[in-house]
Amino acid sequence: MPFNIQAERERRTALAKDTRNLLDTNTGDGKTWNADHQKKYDENVAEIERIDASIERHQKMMDLTADEAFRNAGGREHGDPRAPGAGGNQASSEVKLFDKWARGGDSALSAEDWQQVNAAMSGNPNLNPEQGGYTVPTTIASSILEALKAYGGMRQVADVFSTAGGEPMQYPTSDGTSEEGEIVSENQSATDADTTFGTKGLSVYKYSSKVITVPWELLQDSTADISGFIERRLQSRLGRVTNRHYTVGTGNGQPMGVVTAASVGKIGLVSDLPIITYDDLVELEHSVDPAYRQLAHWMMHDDSLKIIRKVKDESGRPIFVPGYDQGNPGGAPDRLLNRNIQINQHMASPAAGAKSLAFGDFSFYKIRDVMAVTLFRFNDSAYIKKGQVGFLAWMRTGGNLIDVGGAVKTFQHGPAA
């Protein structure tokens, strides 16, 4: 029987909803979690994992065998907003120009092409083409920045904004969690209670993708999606390095990472093996002031989630609740203690002394982009003698936790015994 991805996704959603219902309806009001419930939970989660793996395999196969006519029309993978019929003629035209330039360089573009390129510049309109530079068209530049969300997770939960220039920027801070008003009797004066303000820097740093080398054979292959290959490689390289710095950056010559900036909310038990208990999670959650918990998330490495999925609450019920496709109406993410989970592979894996969990309102982490993703093409002798063409992208970005009230706290494992 042919594999039907949509049917499998629907079956996965049904299993996830059934599992959530199982957890919600079998504790409280005199009900207790028993061995039969646990067996059903384990079976559902195991089947969800099997379906996920199967869908991923088939989706990769579908991507690899995508229709050639679709690629030649200037599109990308299915679902790309710049594909024909999904993003309009302008997007398709920009992609075609980008592909034309990637294959043949500056000389491959006509005067009319360069006029269109200059009209679509996302950053520096005065960049000299004779220097080998090509500022990425608006649609592609936006797509690259949007795609960076997939690499690590910080851009999915942080507050991301852009500025036209990269000049130093100071963000105002103030901790009002301990302040409150008062009752004032008739004809009495209000009490002075000056608010203390501070500032935190939000500098940007220059990132490169490192040079991406493409062999001539691939450039000469009319069926190869050259611009798509370059774009995806730029996304992965820039996405990984920036997410690592947004997460654990030192703040010295690089962005201040959220884990570096946040204070420790809970230290775990002394243990030879890294453990995370139900009490640890409750303590970490309540180390964050309630004022920040309304929009709070959990953030962790996938290895931490593997441990947490085995943790049970005081009723013996698993505390991990599987999610289902958010693309469907009524979709929902994975949940832990009724809060969303954000997987970030640049968080530390569980280990003695490691800060493997973060909890809080990550919108207080500000990511600042200077909107000018610039790509250069090299065909000098260093590459020609190898039969290659080089591509290099630059972007400017930075980040910092703009908070002094403890909007985000971390869990640190105790030392080894």
pLDDT of residue 87: 44
pLDDT of residue 361: 96
Asked if 281 contacts 336 with a C-beta cutoff of 8 angstroms, the reply is yes
Segment holding 201, helix H or strand E: strand 198-201
Please report, rounded to a whole number, the percentage of residues in the chain having pLDDT higher than 90.
Answer: 38
pLDDT of residue 129: 45
Band (325; pLDDT cuts 50, 70, 90):
confident
Fold of 86-174+197-301+344-417: phage-related protein like fold (3.90.1690)
Contact residues for 244 (Cβ-Cβ < 8 A; gap 6+): 152, 257, 346
pLDDT tens track for 207-231: 999 988 888 787 777 666 777 788 8
For residue 350, the 8-state DSSP code is S
Asked if 121 contacts 137 with a C-beta cutoff of 8 angstroms, the reply is yes
> 310 or 135, which is more confident?
310
Q: How long is the chain?
A: 417
Provide mean pLDDT across the span 297-318: 92
Token pair recorded at residue 190 = 């209000």
The chain-wide mean pLDDT, for the chain, equals 81
pLDDT of residue 341: 94
pLDDT of residue 367: 95
How do strand 388-401 and strand 365-378 relate by DSSP bridges?
A: antiparallel
Band (167; pLDDT cuts 50, 70, 90):
confident
Q: Provide the whole-model pTM.
A: 0.79
Band (366; pLDDT cuts 50, 70, 90):
very high
pLDDT of residue 281: 96
Q: Can you give the residue ranges of every domain in the chain?
A: 86-174+197-301+344-417
Burial of 86 (0-12, 13-18, 19+ CB in 10 A): middle
